[in-house]
């Protein structure tokens, strides 16, 4: 029989051993634009570790690749999956991806936008007639760009040409004069502007031109968990959501403290990081009925455009954790 002291030591050690064994590895597909910030905040602030999660990031630079990783079982989570891609895969394969948090975008919470070369005479989107335009990659991004241009009376082929390009080449392509304008995302837009390669034409274009009002929330991306992960490991999924919620709260309450992560993980200069616009990071359980209505309208428009194959109710792939 162990001495009393040894028994006490062993009993005290058990919780620590249990916690170590309880660490769950969660694979996260990350699209490295500023809307991925909650992932890095949760990782760097120890929120994942505090929930017993070892989060492992896999950088994937298009939404279709993120969906592919989730379907194939190579990722349990997507940090900032384009919601139209999520709607489309769920319309085809129900319960593939559930959003636990969404990122609101508009003129205040800037993400998607049109930028033009510094010498451009364009003062509005309508002035992009004749422009060679590059787009952020993925069907949802290029379709949104086309829809905004159409809402401004411009027709592809007749009034402009457009070509999707990886985010890493946007600044160089504008500097080289290969393209006249870009439908791009943050932080690339601000980087291009500060580098003298571009001038911001208009931000928050989905809310203004597709949803119909500047104050609307374009819920264009968010954190999504696979249905399999939620079904097989509901406790771990809840712990992941807890960490994500803490990260969103930190960003909202003290965004200055997390901006160095843009430098560390997103190739943003220290000088530029304080000026990068951030989206509205919201947990699904915090969304109002008006927010959900904005999201439904956004998806319905995508169905009309053929970006999302079949009509789908957004509540069917939202999960309030």
Residues 106-126 have pLDDT tens digits of 999 999 999 999 999 999 999
Q: Reduced to 3 states, what is the DSSP secondary structure of residue 93?
A: coil
What average pLDDT does the chain have? 92
In this predicted structure, the answer to whether residue 17 has a pLDDT above a threshold of 70 is: no
How many angstroms separate the CA atoms of 149 and 143, rounded? 10
| Per-residue confidence (pLDDT) for residue 193, from 0 to 100 | 95
304-316 confidence digits (pLDDT tens): 988 899 999 999 9
In this predicted structure, the answer to whether residue 213 has a pLDDT above a threshold of 90 is: yes
Q: Looking at residue 260, what DSSP letter applies?
A: H
| Per-residue confidence (pLDDT) for residue 293, from 0 to 100 | 96
How many angstroms separate the CA atoms of 96 and 316, rounded? 11
Say if residues 120 and 102 touch (Cβ distance below 8 Å): no
In this predicted structure, the answer to whether residue 3 has a pLDDT above a threshold of 70 is: no
Nearest-Å Rg of the Cα atoms of the chain is 21
30-74 confidence digits (pLDDT tens): 998 889 999 999 999 999 999 999 999 999 988 899 999 999 999
Q: Which residues contact 3 (CB under 8 A, 6 or more apart)?
A: none
Measure Cα distances from 72 to 60, 66, 84, 108 in Å. Answer: 14, 10, 19, 36
Q: Label residue 192 by pLDDT band (50, 70, 90).
A: very high
């Amino acid at each position: 029989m162990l001495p009393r002291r040894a028994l006490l030591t062993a009993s005290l050690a058990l919780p620590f051993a249990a916690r170590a064994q309880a660490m769950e590895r969660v694979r996260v597909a990350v699209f490295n634009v500023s809307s991925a910030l909650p992932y890095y905040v949760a990782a760097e602030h120890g929120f994942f570790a505090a929930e017993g999660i070892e989060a492992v990031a896999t950088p994937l630079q298009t939404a279709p690749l993120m969906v592919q990783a989730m379907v194939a079982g190579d990722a349990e989570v997507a940090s900032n999956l384009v919601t139209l891609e999520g709607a489309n895969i769920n319309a085809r394969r129900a319960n593939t991806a559930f959003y636990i948090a969404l990122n609101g975008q508009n003129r205040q919470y800037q993400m998607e936008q049109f930028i033009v070369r510094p010498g451009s005479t364009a003062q509005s989107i309508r002035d992009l007639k004749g422009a060679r335009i590059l787009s952020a990659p993925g069907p949802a991004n290029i379709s949104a760009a086309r829809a905004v241009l159409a809402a401004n009376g411009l027709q592809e082929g007749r009034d402009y040409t457009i070509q999707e390009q990886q985010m890493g080449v946007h600044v160089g392509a504008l500097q080289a004069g290969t393209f006249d304008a870009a439908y791009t995302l943050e932080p690339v837009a601000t980087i291009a502007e500060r580098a003298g390669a571009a001038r911001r034409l208009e931000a928050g274009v989905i809310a203004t031109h597709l949803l119909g009002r500047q104050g609307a929330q374009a819920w264009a991306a968010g954190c999504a968990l696979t249905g399999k992960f939620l079904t097989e490991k509901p406790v771990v999924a809840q712990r992941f959501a807890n960490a994500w919620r803490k990260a969103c709260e930190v960003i909202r309450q003290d965004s200055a403290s997390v901006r160095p992560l843009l430098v560390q993980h997103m190739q943003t200069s220290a000088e530029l990081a304080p000026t990068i616009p951030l989206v509205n990071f919201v947990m699904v359980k915090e969304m109002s009925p008006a927010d959900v209505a904005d999201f439904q309208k956004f998806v319905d428009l995508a169905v009309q455009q053929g970006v999302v194959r079949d009509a789908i109710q957004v509540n069917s792939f939202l999960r309030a954790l």
